[in-house]
Structure 1
Amino acid sequence: MNNYQKAIENSNIVSKTDINGIITFVNDEFVRLFEYSKEELLGKNHNIIRHPDTPKENFKALWDTILNKQVHKATVKNLSKSGKTVYLNTTIIPILDEFGNIFEFIAIRYDITNEVMLQKELKEKQKIIFLQSRMASLGQMLANIAHQWRQPLTELNLTLFNLKKAFESKNQKEFDNFYNSSKNLISGMSNTIEDFTNFFTPQKQKERFLLNLSINEALKILNRVIENEKINIKFNILKDLEVFGIKNELTQVLLNLINNSKDAFIQKNIEQKEINIKTYIKNNFIYLEYLDNAQGVNKELFDRIFEPYFTTKHQSSGTGLGLFICKIIIENSFEGQIMHENIENGLKFTLKFPKIV
């Protein structure tokens, strides 16, 4: 038993308290980590290392568990004497006497501060990349608005000229026709702004929504681009499939895929441009398949397409963030997967979502 005790104390951060949480023992690792002497710790309440940010309900859950003679496991945020934050994987074990009553608690801990800080650093980097991606998307959206508005602005200019002529000739019927036509054009342009505004509205609350609504939203935003580039889009969509996540972010994924296809069509001089979108259920998962005929990706680049800042486009055309963001969105916002494969004459993306129970 002495050998086991020494092994635990030498490889972990160990403390003991009485039933009221008063410290009765700390090992050398505990002293080193929290920067108190043993004399400063023994006889003190264990909350001497409590971090003020830790919610009170966490401690209630802890005491409810151990006073019920059960083992409590958690990742705990603590504070050293000098004010240093320490993250520990903590296991607290109630020790019972011969009558089954608790007479002390033993806490065995493992320091994971470096791992937690690394995760936080990665999350901060992800936030920066997301912001860069959002700015890139904004630039792309402004270009799409310009596409959407070019034709109606030309038509509106001509209609206003004809409206003036009808007014001068006092032809009431023609005047009314041109007036109504102008109103319809302006209304259409206003709807375009509404579509783009809705896309950029922050929406971080996850919700259930129909998969086809996100598909329709992406196509609505890019409809002028699709028409101008003469891209033929074919559908095989089940209209009642629901997924759980953030609708705007899935729309962003689809916008990225369509824009990537459009750029590849242009870059590779594809004459018959085709995109196929299909949704289905298989093995209790929901799938969205996206295929184009833009000749796929070179083998040497195939495994790198989800890397941040990697792009096959000219610097003026792409940031290399699109597919990286797509992967983050599908994995984080939807707890799903995004897979890719070269197919005959093109590239296929498969988006896999958990089925809502």
Structure 2
Amino acid sequence: MQYSRLRNIIWLTLTFVIFIMIFLVFKYIIVGYHENIHGQVEFIKNSKYILTSFIVFISLVIFLLVTYFLKRIEILDREIRLKDSLLTNNSKLVEMGGLIDNIAHQWKQPLSIISIVISDLKVKKEFNQLTDELIDNAIEISLNNINYQAQTIDDFRNFYKSDKKEENFTLEKVFDLNMKLIGSTLKNNNVKVDLNIDDIRIYGLKNELVQAILNILNNSNDVFSKKNNQSDNYIMISALKKTEYAIIIIHDNAGGIPDEYLDKVFINHFTTKKDSGGTGVGLFVSREIIVKNMLGKLNVKNEGIFYKNKKYLGAKFIIELPLA
């Protein structure tokens, strides 16, 4: 988009310059001819025509060359955007296995509830204790749990939609979807999430922002999963307005990132988890989405965190996004 705008500006500028040059040529010819007729001055010297014609010719050559190179830049820009899109999709595919496990876990509870309700109806029928009220209650409970399962699938499907449509959305919805996608996985590792999200609206690609934040949360979860399910696992998430930006802070107490890796975590394919199948794509994609697609900032540092009167060390991711 930026290259296309630059190309149009340069193209219009060159067109204007060439128009002026051609205008000057005709002006010299007409004025010179007019002055020669009245015998007031000698006809403009041939050198002026030659110089002006040469300038017009050079301008045309430059115009054609610049147009060619701008076209090449546009093609390269399109290829880069295609590559970025493929990286984002690959990152989603990498996370898909974990998300499917998460959905399966989310489905277990409602399926168990439906199973208990049906079993209870069967027992009540055998003992002739079945009433219309019990049946209606069982139907209501079952439908509520079925709707919950359907909503889980809809959330998952919407997250993986390939169409990119910019829209106004709230950060509350972004984190609500993130918790639906990864909440059960975090719970399995005894990770408690503390959310403090202000009412903030953002304009952009909602699913891509969900993906960027999901990658950060998965990064924390991977570290927690290696800590033998200790009880004090926390992720503190806050979002607040600051002038024209929304500031999102994701701060865990997983021990932080080794200092020698802090300036490398956003590099494509850099990973310290090769033995466990890490690809090094997640955080790179997060920065690409936030910086390039949403014109924001993403940084990380190690910082102490207090929770329940106890101090921990953890990685603190700071996201800045323009307000809608």
Q: Shorter-chain TM-score: what band?
A: 0.7 to 0.9
- The answer to whether residue 303 in structure 2 is matched with residue 343 in structure 1 is yes
Alpha carbons of structure 1 residues 98 and 61: separation in structure 2 relative to 1, 3 Å:
closer
**Equivalent residue for 2:114?**
156
AA of the residue aligned to 1:337: K
Change (3 A) 1:251 1:100: farther
Change (3 A) 1:122 1:169: same
CA contact (8 A) 1:203 1:248 kept: no
Q: Distance in 1 between matches of 2:269 and 2:125?
A: 57
Matches within 5 A, 1:1-357: 65-66=16-17, 69=20, 96-97=24-25, 99=27, 105=56, 106-107=59-60, 108=62, 109=65, 112=69, 116=73, 121-170=79-128, 171-172=130-131, 173-239=133-199, 241-269=200-228, 270-313=230-273, 315-316=275-276, 318-344=278-304, 345-356=313-324
Higher-strand-fraction structure: 1
Alignment-mate amino acid for residue 314 of structure 2: G
Q: Compared with structure 1, are the counterparts of its residues 101 and 157 closer, same or farther at alpha carbon in structure 2 (3 Å cutoff)?
A: farther
CA-CA distance at 1:206 after TM superposition: 1.8
Q: Give the unaligned 5+ runs of structure 1.
A: 1-56, 70-92
Root-mean-square deviation (CA, aligned residues, Å) is: 3.3
- Give the Cα separation in 2 of the matches to 1:179 and 1:354: 47
Tell me the SS of whatever aligns to 1:353.
strand
- The residue identity in structure 2 corresponding to 1:287 is I
Contact 2:166/2:203 (8 A) holds in 1: yes
Q: TM-score, normalised by structure 1?
A: 0.67
Over the matched positions of the two proteins, sequence identity in percent amounts to: 30
TM superposition score normalised by structure 2: 0.73
Aligned pairs, number: 276
CA contact (8 A) 1:276 1:290 kept: yes
The 2-side partners of 1:101 and 1:152 are apart by 88
CA contact (8 A) 2:92 2:211 kept: no
CA contact (8 A) 1:167 1:175 kept: no
Please state how far the C-alpha of 1:346 moved relative to its aligned partner. 0.2
Q: 1:81 aligns to what?
A: none
Answer whether contact 2:110 2:145 (CA < 8 A) is retained.
yes
For each residue in 1:279-316, what CA deviation from the matched residue of structure 2 results, as whole angstroms up to 9, or x when unmatched? 22335322111111111111122222112222233554
Q: Classify the secondary structure of the residue corresponding to 2:203.
A: strand
Relative contact order, higher structure (CA 8 A, sep 6+): 2
Classify the secondary structure of the residue corresponding to 1:310.
coil
Greater Cα offset, 333-342 or 272-281: 272-281
Aligned residues of 1:203 and 1:246 also touching (Cα < 8 A)? no
Residues 63-121 of structure 1, C-alpha deviations (whole Å, 9 max, x = no match): 9734763xxxxxxxxxxxxxxxxxxxxxxx66725947997532324675898366555
